[in-house]
Amino acid sequence: MVSIVGQTLENQIESLQGYGCNKILKEKQSGAKSNRIALHGALEYLREGDKLIVTKIDRFARSVKNLHNVASQLEDNGIGLVFLKEQIDFSTPSGK
């Protein structure tokens, strides 16, 4: 996800492909917005045992509270959450 329409997703896509992602959803919208179609689509698509891989935390969450809520929802559904730049994997003991 990028914040400004003129920005490119290329570097983020390369990072996700390098991690081994097989489905990449793209969105050019601010992380501060709540009506994010690609994010909502990803959350509906994911199933138990899947992982949601995000390039950077600021591309994902509007606030720490929002991050906590979504991360908890994913965990409750057996879905992992990984942030590449920060090297945080919420599905591991150290990530939790």
Query: Which element (helix H / strand E) includes 13?
Result: helix 10-19
> pLDDT higher for 47 or 31?
47
pLDDT-based confidence at residue 1 (cuts at 50, 70, 90): very low
pLDDT in tens, 58-89: 878 878 998 898 899 999 999 999 999 999 99
Q: Would you say residue 5 has pLDDT above 60?
A: no
Q: How far is CA 20 from CA 33, 52, 63, 82, in A?
A: 28, 12, 27, 12
Of 3, 15, 30, 91, the catalytic one is 3
C-alpha 89/C-alpha 30 separation (Å) is 23
Residue among 91, 20, 81, 23 at smallest CA distance from 56: 81
Average pLDDT for the chain:
82
Confirm whether 3 is a catalytic residue: yes
